[in-house]
Homo-oligomer: A and B are copies of this chain.
């Protein structure tokens, strides 16, 4: 019963819903006074309190009974149908409010075969990129009155599959998804498509998956970055490559290759390093021992940061000796020093456009696939000349 160790709130005299009160003692220690029976067990404070039990909800039948009309009439009134007298409608709406009537969306879905729900599957939310995508999606789905079922796949195929099945079982009206890294088998997405549920894929392109895509122009984004490096005097540019098997890695790599080509710089295989390489630091050091690298273009801001740390250990000046460009414009790009130049992806817009396309597919019962590619912008900060 070490209640005194619990400081749920430290205001001088604080009522936690009329149950408990916190006061400050003369010693400035704060203790909790419980006015009802309570116990403290395994770190949880239990307060016996008369919680409202799931009382039976009021249905249109209840309203109908009160007014001596049929449920149909109630339904029509509440849904603003034409054929109903204004006075009656007002009366019904008024009563509904008084009785705290809450339309049962489940029952509605049952008859309309529509849930006003969309399934969203993203790999994770630790990268700001996906948060912004989410914000973009939310901005349009909220305004459209749709709810979001959100699942994170953690880049795990198993979770992806389960989530897709859950989406289908709950009869979402559409699915938005960014497929995870390691999924080579994409049959679960095929199931979604075959089910006839509109699907828009984000960010990463998958071969043989016939559906709408919203992606960014990674190729051009990388090309821009490399062009900038060359224009500012870089002659030997290292590329830190992203994970295998995802289209973005490959496209950014291609942009890098194209950038070199355009500037007649020979492609040197040894200047390409995998960001996820376990011996990243060692290998990077070896490259710097061997080559006169004066520019780095990384698949992500995080890889860029990893490289910068290694360079700083070596006492290499950034950007004086080596220019560095990252990718994505994650928040860290602004916080590290030197501030990181990077290729900014329009994450919010990706989400927004993806949602818009999805709603088009849903609402227009469209039979066509719609794809969109967005442009990146090069953000120059302190890590480049």
A208 near B251: Cβ-Cβ < 8 Å:
no
Q: Is A170 in contact with chain B by the CB < 8 A criterion? A: yes
Closest-by-CB residue of B relative to A209 is B17
What residues of chain B lie closer than 8 Å to A254, measured between beta carbons? 10
Q: State the number of copies, please.
A: 2
**A169-B104 contact in complex given A131-B131, A305-B335, A337-B337, C-beta closer than 8 Å:** yes
What residues of chain B lie closer than 8 Å to A8, measured between beta carbons? 205, 213, 215, 371, 373
A370 near B44: Cβ-Cβ < 8 Å:
yes
| A39 to B115 CA separation, bound complex (whole angstroms) | 31
What residues of chain B lie closer than 8 Å to A128, measured between beta carbons? 126
Cβ distance A130 to chain B, nearest Cβ, rounded Å: 9
Closest-by-CB residue of B relative to A337 is B337
B210 near A19: Cβ-Cβ < 8 Å:
yes
Closest-by-CB residue of B relative to A312 is B337
Cβ distance A218 to chain B, nearest Cβ, rounded Å: 8
Q: Is A287 in contact with chain B by the CB < 8 A criterion? A: no
Closest-by-CB residue of B relative to A49 is B369
| A105 to B166 CA separation, bound complex (whole angstroms) | 9
Closest-by-CB residue of B relative to A127 is B131
- In A109-138, the 8 Å CB interface with B consists of 109-110, 115, 117, 124-126, 128, 131-132, 134-135, 138
B335 near A370: Cβ-Cβ < 8 Å:
no
| Interface segment, one of A75-83, A149-157, A270-278, A316-324 | A149-157
